[in-house]
Amino acid sequence: MTEWMLSKVGWQPPDSSGVLVHGGSLANLTALLAARARAFPSAWEQGTPAEAVILVPAGTHVSVARAASILGLGSRAVHPLPCDDLGRTRGERVAEAIELQHRAGRRVMAVIANACAPTTGLYDPLEAMATACRDKRVWLHVDAAHGGSALLVPELRTLLRGIEQADSVTWDAHKMLRTSTLAAAVLIRRSEDLHHALRQSADYLFFNDARTGPDLMHCTVEGSKAELGLKIFLNLAWRGEQGLAAYVHGRHQAARTLWRMVSARNTFEALSEPESNLVCFRYADGNDPHSEVRHIAIRDRLMGQGTFHLASSLVRNRRWWRATVMSPASDQAIFTQLLDTLEIAYQEASY
């Protein structure tokens, strides 16, 4: 299954390699272990140097800061990239950001790109970021845990233009490939980088016994694992690649329908035109000082009632509801019910 996913990125074994892990957090950690091994080959034995930093865009998944601390960098080693007001990396300024770190006596271990951002569903400019990282000889990791499945849809693949130039990619099958939790892939452009990520020795596990088939246990943080590849395979075999692509495309189109419906009501405002199946919007309450508290309270109320499950994001210092359109049953009638329910709930909360 990793070979199939590699091919969608634009890579091929044996030059490239990948491994399945229990979730995107472990996938991001594994990718950063590979990045550390490339930048600091002696780090496995001597520890991560104090000058190591990671550059990230706004809205980067929390697992990146966690991985930085696990790797011994500390969360203070995670530095922001220049972004626009929607949190998307400004690709033309990535090289400058890397150079500024070098001038300060630090070394950039990796640059993270969102594809898409968990807070907004928007994609970073991968091609521009890849060019900058290649010129500066810095590892580029694309966190495509949620948005990687757009690679299956020709009309959406342009959102990930340049992903084949990255050094590593995280792609969750349990997000948009309709696979049960958990099943995530960490994909590495150069196979040797994956094999250098973890350099432990254990003669009761790793020995030359000429076993058949690939043995990737030395490439993952986990020891025992579930049959992750089987879950993805059975799903792919049942639905087919075209079936999965139709699902991804359909959910993207449904998100656009919700966005248009939000934009048509003067009681709501949308953060931006969606690029994925995530739609951020809020009640158009101007500068109401109680806005954030009310948005959170209404979200909690709907979840408590079991009617709608909305997530939440803080963008431009404002609280937004975040709808993740996953279910094939989510249609215009459901969206109408959602917006009607939110309007009533906000009006009630205002009294």
Kindly report the three-state secondary structure assignment for every residue of 100-111: HHHHCCCEEEEE
Helix (H, G, I), strand (E, B) or coil at 287: coil
Give the model's pLDDT for residue 223: 84
How far is residue 174's CA from residue 14's CA, in Å, rounded to a whole number? Answer: 25
| Direct distance between the N- and C-terminal alpha carbons of the chain, in angstroms, rounded to an integer | 54
Q: Which amino acid is at 284?
A: A
**Element holding 314 (H helix, E strand):** strand 311-315
Give the model's pLDDT for residue 209: 64
Is residue 91 within 8 Å of residue 127, measured between CB atoms?
yes
Give the model's pLDDT for residue 287: 82
Mean pLDDT on 95-110: 98
The percentage of residues in the chain with a pLDDT greater than 70, rounded to a whole number, is 96
The yes or no reply on domain 2-226 and CATH 3.40.630.10 is no
Give the model's pLDDT for residue 302: 95
Give the model's pLDDT for residue 210: 67
Mean pLDDT of the chain: 95
What are 75's two structure tokens? 């969360």
Is residue 40 within 8 Å of residue 179, measured between CB atoms?
no
Query: What confidence tier does 350 reach under pLDDT thresholds 50, 70, 90?
Result: confident
Q: Judge if the upstream peptide bond of residue 116 is cis by omega within 30 degrees of 0.
A: yes
Is residue 97 within 8 Å of residue 55, measured between CB atoms?
yes
How far is residue 179's CA from residue 188's CA, in Å, rounded to a whole number? Answer: 22
Domain 236-349 fold is: Aspartate Aminotransferase, domain 1 (3.90.1150)
Helix and strand numbers, DSSP H then E, in the chain: 11, 11
Segment 292-318, tens digit of pLDDT: 999 999 999 999 999 999 999 999 999
Helix (H, G, I), strand (E, B) or coil at 238: helix
Sheet holding 268-270, edge to edge: 268-270, 278-283, 318-324, 311-315
206, pLDDT greater than 80: no
Half-sphere exposure of 24 (CA within 13 A, CB side): 24
Is residue 85 within 8 Å of residue 59, measured between CB atoms?
no
Structural domain boundaries of the chain?
2-226, 236-349
* 183 phi and psi angles, rounded to 5 deg: -165, 105
**Element holding 334 (H helix, E strand):** helix 332-349
Query: What confidence tier does 208 reach under pLDDT thresholds 50, 70, 90?
Result: low
89, pLDDT greater than 70: yes
Mean pLDDT on 30-49: 96
What are 86's two structure tokens? 């929607």
Name the residue with tokens 């089987």.
230
